[in-house]
Structures are given as C-alpha cells and as structure tokens.
Structure 1
Amino acid sequence: MSQPESAVADAQAGGRSAQEPLAKLAQRYGLRRAIARPRFHVYVRQLWERRHFILTYATSRNVSKYSSSALGQLWQVLTPLLNAAIYYVMFGLILGGKGDIVNYPAFLLTGMFVFTYTQRSFTAGAKSISSNLSLIRALHFPRAALPLAYTIQELQQLAISMGVLGLIVVMTGEAPNWYWLMIPIVLTLQTMFNVGAGLVIARLGSSMRDLNQLLPFITRTWLYASGVFFSIQEKVVGSLELPQWVANVMYLNPAASYIEWMREILIGTYNDSVGHHPPTMVWVSCVFWAVFALGFGFWYFWRAEERYGRG
C-alpha cells in the first residue's frame, strides 16, 4: 500500500493518526498541497519546460484574433498606422508639434510602434489571469506562462510592424546603416521590460477587478509623457529652456527611453535636427528597466502563485 493510501486508511480507521491535525498527518506521510508554490528556481525551470506550450498558445491567439475580420492579420499594421495618421494631423499639423524635426513622419511612427508594443503588453497582461480562470482551475501549470504568452503574442505582432516601419523610414529618406544591427538589442531589452511589467500588472489585475477600467486612462497619460509626439530634448531644453537634468529625468520613463534609442538608431536626420542627445542616459535607463522589471516581475508574480484562480 502506498503512503497516501496508508494515510487515508489510518484516518478512516479512527486510529491514532486520525486524532492528529491534518497538516501534521500530511507531513508525516510526505503529502503536499496540489497547488503549493514551488521554489523560485523550480518555478523558472517549470516555465522553461513548458516553453513550447507558451509559444503555441501565443501563436494560436495571434492567428485567431483577426480570423473573423476581412483584412485579417493586416490589422496588426493598420491599427498603429491609422493611429499615427490621426496623431500626425492633430499634433504634427494642427498643433505644430513637428517643429524643427526634419523627418517627422518617421519620428512619429517610430514612437507609435515602440510605445504600442509596451502599451498592448501592459494591457494584455492585466487580463491574462482573469480571462483564463477556467484554464487555471482545470490544469496545473506555472501561471506565469499566461502573461508570458500574451507578451510573446504582442512581440509577434511587433515583428510585422517593424518590417513596415523599416520600409517607411527608408521611403522617407533614411538610409540603412550598421546601427540598424542594434535594433534586436533594443527590442530584447524592451521585451524583458514588457514581460516584467506584464507579470506585475497580471497579479494586480487578478485581484483588482476595476484595474481594467483604469488602464486606458493610465496608458493614455503614459503616452503623452513619453515623447511620442515631440522630442523631449528639443521641447524641454530647446523650447522651454529648462536644464538638461529635467530632460534626463523624463528619459527615466522606460517607454521614453526605448523610443529615444530606437529613433537614434533609425533616423539620422532626427539626431541632426535636435542637436545634443544624452545617449548614455538612454542606454542606462533601458538596461536598468529591463533587468529590474524582469527580476522583480517574476518574483512578485511568483509570490502569489497559490492565489491565482481562487474566488
């Protein structure tokens, strides 16, 4: 007879073990809770073992998302392009936001595509647990697989968008150069940040039901503060004549840092038009947020592993 069967038999027989607290009885026979949180390194290993599930789940969601629309996957590119067109008319033409920026279309599209990747990862992460309660309650797997899959889904969509962005940047007069080889580095750091931020917001969204109602206001404010429509350097130091440290503080915004670094890689005329840039500040901010968000996000999400799917 196995140990679990022996424990049940002792309890049913009304013997000595039946008088023990259930926790001590389970400990004596080596029983553990089915949903007990594993140690952190074990948790990471379990996620790696399910990497094929995560990738397949993300791909299937990506394919099915636009399956019912006539244009299908084209909406992955059309949505940010249409948003950028609206913002170009409003902020670039009507409000004169393009100022002294020579290649404003490429400037704006780069900001929109990069910010949209983080924004969508952030929003999707908030719903990753609450939208999959039936799956969580039916199957046993590391719950972090869900926010990870949602971020990978957004990364797959970004790959198409970046291809379109590259063509547009070339069409607007920019020439490809060796600096473009740094694009995967920037996107890797941004993905690390998105994964960490998605895990944090996933835990918050699993218990705060009203968070999804607040997110549109939060992300919209974040959009306006990230230099998507204007150059932080030109606006803060140039037009407003504020000290350089004010611009440096604004670059600490992770979205602004990834946008700025991508612009410096893709758009040579942008660098010439706004003059001095603080590349060291941008790089440090990008690396810091990637490492900090990923480490803290996994730890923060893992701490509540036992609570997901309850209630």
Structure 2
Amino acid sequence: MANSATTDALPRSSPPGDGESLAELAARHGLTVSGARPGLGAYVKQLWQRRHFIVAFANAKTRASYSDARLGQVWQILTPLLNAAIYYLIFGLMLKTNRGVPNFIAFLVTGIFVFGFTQSAVLAGTRSISGQLNLIRALHFPRASLPISFTIVQLQQLLISMIVLCGIVLAKGEPLTLKWLLVVPVLMLQFVFNIGLSMIVARFGAVVTDINQLMPFILRTWLYTSGVFYSIDNFTKDAPAWVRHALDLNPIAVYIELVRDSLIESHSGVPTWTWGVAAAWALVIGVGGFIYFWRAEERYGRG
C-alpha cells in the first residue's frame, strides 16, 4: 500500500499525442537542445559577460608560452630580431632590396614585427578549437572566447615587441614625433582584423586538422607578397597596374605601410585612402569572421 501511495504522488509524464513529433513533445515540456547556437545578439552578450574569463585565459597562456624555455619570454623579442637579421642578410645585402629605401633596417624590422602579429594570431587560431577539446567538452561557454583569447595573447606579445621596435627606430636616427601616436589606431584595426581571421581559420581547423600543416606555406607566400623586406612601389614600377593594385590592397601590406608611415619620417608616405582600406579590412574580416564562426557554434567539440 505504501508503494502504491508513493507512486500515485509522483507526477506522471504525458505520453506523446497522436502524430506528435519528438520536437513538439520537447517544446510542450519546455525542453531545449543542449549546446544549441544562441542568436547573434545573445551570443555577443554572452561573450561580454565572460570578458574576464577571456582576459584571464589569455594571461595564463602568455605566462605559459615560454615556461619551458630558459630565456622565457625573451624569445618573443629574440625571434623576430633573428628573423630580421636573416632577412637583412639575404634580401638587403645579397638581393639588394634595400635600394631606394631610406633607413632600410627600421623599414625591415617594422615589417617583420607587424606581419608577425598577424602570422602568430593565425597560427594560434588554427589550433584554438582543435587544441582545446577537453575544455570545450567540459564547460559551456561561447566558443569564440578561445580565438579571441589567443589573439589577445599575440597582442600582449606585440606590445612588448613594439617597445623594442621603437628603440630600434630611434637608434637608427628617426625622430620621436606626435605621428607615432597613429600606431595605436593602426594596431587596433589590425587586432580586429586578426580576430576575424583567427575565427575563420579556427572553424576550418576544428574540422580539417591538416590545416595546421598547410598554414605555414600559406603564411610564407603571404609574407613574400606583403612588402616586408622590399618596397612595393619600387618593385612594381614596371609591373601591370593590376599587380600593383593587388599588392597595395593586401591587408597586411596596408597595416605595415601605415605603421612605417607613423614611425619612420624618411618613409615615402602613404595615400590618405590607405586608412579607409585598413578600416574596411578590419570591418569585413572582423565582423564577417565572427559571424562565420558563430554559425557553427553548436558543432565545436562534437567531432
């Protein structure tokens, strides 16, 4: 009798009605899909609510980046400087790409540091989802937090590198002017661009892990077409107009030229429209990459 009374007191589940689908049954009882993609506005709100987690995760990754190296974070400065020395030897002295470029060392180092910002953000982005599957499967949070955090890590490392870059530029005889302040908006535009690009490759990397092997070749090609160690104007004087325009509109070349124009007074200068191109790339890739990543939100970590 006691068992019967207890059973009678429990709520009875409603059986599905005739012709009622499982989706309709779930809706009738207020059930929702676990891990379903929220609306775009709600997704942005969730990211903002987790901004402290994003920054804390980025700080932890920054501290751990070189924890196994004896020189620690000094390598984030040594690596681009060693690259600059190699490129100066090969391109500046052997191939003579320094012809017609005043203050070539400052010109070269600026290009390497700015290009390296995007390069490292893209490489980190390809692994930001596929390399964090345990975290993704254990906790519920907007997955865009990961590529954003990894891009913040690269921004933090760039800021340290920029101190070294400014020291090199000053050592090479360039004056300190108010124009240097323009570096801040340039890097912010590049940061937004990098976030969007990181999200694009993060979605690819979550499905096709082989992109980790392919990406260095793509980035190396991008490096050679971005005017890092040569002047695009000098090398396209006799080229077809479409080649010159394509190289001038290259987003990394745009950000590099704007930083050079801000720091190096002897630089030939950039057209005013370059700022519009830089903002357009940041808007298109930043917003477009975010939406592209968000559309696959519910699929990350399921494979």
Q: Given the alignment of the two structures, is residue 169 of structure 1 paired with residue 181 of structure 2, yes or no?
A: no
Q: Given the alignment of the two structures, is residue 10 of structure 1 paired with residue 17 of structure 2, yes or no?
A: no
Match of 2:97, SS state, is coil
- Aligned residues of 2:227 and 2:253 also touching (Cα < 8 A): yes
Match of 1:161, SS state, is helix
By how many angstroms is 1:22 displaced? 2.1
Match of 2:299 in 1: 307
Q: Deviations over 1:84-110 (max 9, x none)?
A: 111110110111111121211100000
User: Matched residues in 2 for 1:284 and 1:223: separation?
Assistant: 22
Match of 2:141, SS state, is coil
- Aligned residues of 1:248 and 1:281 also touching (Cα < 8 A): no
Q: Which amino acid aligns with 2:263?
A: L
- Aligned residues of 2:257 and 2:270 also touching (Cα < 8 A): no
Q: Deviations over 1:212-253 (max 9, x none)?
A: 11001000000000000101112212xxx3466642321111
By how many angstroms is 1:9 displaced? 4.4
Q: Which amino acid aligns with 1:303?
A: R
Match of 1:23, SS state, is helix
Match of 1:113 in 2: 113
| Distance verdict in 2 for CA 1:16–1:74, change over 3 Å | closer
Q: Which amino acid aligns with 1:266?
A: L
Equivalences for residues 165-204 of structure 1 within 5 A:
165-204=165-204
Q: Which amino acid aligns with 2:257?
A: E
Match of 2:102 in 1: 102
Match of 2:67 in 1: 67
Q: Given the alignment of the two structures, is residue 206 of structure 1 paired with residue 203 of structure 2, yes or no?
A: no
User: Matched residues in 1 for 2:222 and 2:44: separation?
Assistant: 31
User: Matched residues in 2 for 1:136 and 1:54: separation?
Assistant: 14
Q: Which amino acid aligns with 2:275?
A: W
User: Matched residues in 2 for 1:131 and 1:66: separation?
Assistant: 18
Match of 2:13, SS state, is helix
Aligned length: 293
TM-score w.r.t. the length of structure 2 is 0.93
Match of 1:21 in 2: 21
Match of 2:249 in 1: 252
Match of 2:61, SS state, is helix
- Of stretches 29-38 and 152-161 in structure 1, the one that deviates more from structure 2 is 29-38
- Aligned residues of 1:251 and 1:281 also touching (Cα < 8 A): no
User: Matched residues in 1 for 2:215 and 2:240: separation?
Assistant: 32
User: Matched residues in 1 for 2:242 and 2:199: separation?
Assistant: 31
User: Matched residues in 2 for 1:86 and 1:261: separation?
Assistant: 24
By how many angstroms is 1:21 displaced? 2.8
By how many angstroms is 1:76 displaced? 1.0
Give the alignment partner of residue 279 of structure 1, picking from 271, 275, 278: 271
Match of 1:5 in 2: none
- Aligned residues of 1:248 and 1:278 also touching (Cα < 8 A): no
Q: Which amino acid aligns with 1:198?
A: S
Match of 2:265 in 1: 268
- Aligned residues of 1:257 and 1:282 also touching (Cα < 8 A): yes
| Distance verdict in 2 for CA 1:110–1:16, change over 3 Å | closer
Match of 1:296 in 2: 288
Aligned-residue CA RMSD (Å): 1.6
TM-score w.r.t. the length of structure 1 is 0.91
Structure having the higher helix fraction is 1
By how many angstroms is 1:23 displaced? 1.2
- Of stretches 60-69 and 35-44 in structure 1, the one that deviates more from structure 2 is 60-69
Q: Which amino acid aligns with 1:304?
A: A
User: Matched residues in 2 for 1:205 and 1:33: separation?
Assistant: 25
Match of 2:272, SS state, is helix
Match of 2:236, SS state, is helix
Equivalences for residues 124-163 of structure 1 within 5 A:
124-163=124-163
Match of 1:269, SS state, is coil
% identity of equivalent residues: 51
- Aligned residues of 1:10 and 1:18 also touching (Cα < 8 A): no
By how many angstroms is 1:281 displaced? 3.7
- Of stretches 15-24 and 160-169 in structure 1, the one that deviates more from structure 2 is 15-24
User: Matched residues in 2 for 1:186 and 1:18: separation?
Assistant: 63
Q: Given the alignment of the two structures, is residue 232 of structure 1 paired with residue 235 of structure 2, yes or no?
A: no
- Aligned residues of 1:10 and 1:17 also touching (Cα < 8 A): no
- Aligned residues of 1:143 and 1:308 also touching (Cα < 8 A): yes
User: Matched residues in 1 for 2:20 and 2:240: separation?
Assistant: 70
Unaligned residue ranges in structure 1 (runs of 5+): 1-7, 272-276
By how many angstroms is 1:297 displaced? 0.8
- Aligned residues of 2:128 and 2:202 also touching (Cα < 8 A): yes
By how many angstroms is 1:209 displaced? 1.6
